Amino acid sequence: MPADHIDSPRGAGFCMPAEWEPHRAVWTAWPSHRELWLEDLPAAQREVADLCRAIAALDDDGKAAGEMIELLVLDDAGEREAAAALSGLPVRFHQVPFGDIWLRDTAPLFVRGANGEVAAACFRFNGWGEKYMFPEDLGVARAVRAAAGVHSFEVPMIFEGGAIEVDGEGTALTTRQCLLHGNRNPSLSAAEIAHHLCDALGVQRLLWLGDGLVNDHTDGHIDTLVRFVAPGRVVCMEARDEDDPNAPALARILQDLTTMHDAAQRPLEIVRIPSPGLLRDGDGRVMPASYVNFYIGNAAVIVPVYGSRHDDEAVEGIAACFPDRRTVAVPARAVLSGGGAFHCITQQEPAPLARS
């Protein structure tokens, strides 16, 4: 066993649970930077508030069936603003500097040990390959870890949480476009990257796909392409329109998935849903819209929708994968203007398990 394996998550008996396993809380952040969001800021704040309401899943008596919301805010003014928008929800506020709201990538990935203890795997972060360098983002993972009060594992590679999808049973999906891009870990080979990643998240088999969506700021994060919905089962988009800019990439991904087996040697079962199709922003640029950038909460699955004619079919297809949860469609066009959707701005903290 390599020496660096002993004090790694896998070496200590930890692994990243599947997202559908119980959560203690979800970490996210309040859109605040007017210089980044410009005229989309009020709409982005409304969409984040709607996301939080869906995650909390209040019943008729105002009791939350979902999970605690751990919300980063910049200052007192931001906390007052967010508190007014999220009134009645189970929210705990943390005044922490952050560059923007993409906590899937800037927060730690939470892992859980064989004894039920939760810890944080803290990777290095370089602004998605130095494209969007906000100095405050460099401290988010450690600040969240400290606020969560859990042990930290430091992982010696640059990585973002949106680049990995796990089934909780030893299998993970990722893309070559992102992990092998020279703007992140140019000194590491593919084998070394896979070693660090599997060691950090307790993975036995890493499945590699190719390229991601057009104009994806993240260089092809997997959470906009393919998601596990159960062990051995994934959901993936397919193009339904002739002008869908992602038709070639999605066709290749679907073809590759048909050849793959998980860590238990099961062939992957593929659930196909439509792509949103061609969406453009106000300047005419193609937007990286994805229905599979949903968040799986304790009580609800929150699916981003964009006003596409394919919205309803996609939501129904995802809902069929989660019969034990309510599936909620929430508009995400304003959040998408910043480059992502609901999975990109959330990071689940798994519930600790009772010690055996």
Task: Output Rg (C-alpha) for the chain, integer angstroms.
Answer: 19
Is the predicted pLDDT of residue 350 greater than 70, yes or no? yes
Q: What is the CATH number of domain 3-350?
A: 3.75.10.10
Q: Is 259 exposed, middle or buried (0-12, 13-18, 19+ CB in 10 A)?
A: exposed
pLDDT in tens, 15-66: 999 999 999 999 999 999 999 999 999 999 999 999 999 999 998 888 889 9
Collapsing DSSP to helix, strand or coil, 242 comes out as: coil
Pairing of strands 151-158, 165-166: unpaired
Catalytic positions, written as ranges: 344
pLDDT in tens, 66-123: 999 999 999 999 999 999 999 999 999 999 999 999 999 999 999 999 999 999 999 9
- Residue spans per domain, the chain: 3-350
Given a contact cutoff of 8 angstroms between Cβ atoms, the answer to whether 206 and 165 are in contact is no
pLDDT in tens, 122-161: 999 999 999 999 999 999 999 999 999 999 999 989 999 9
pTM above 0.85, yes or no: yes
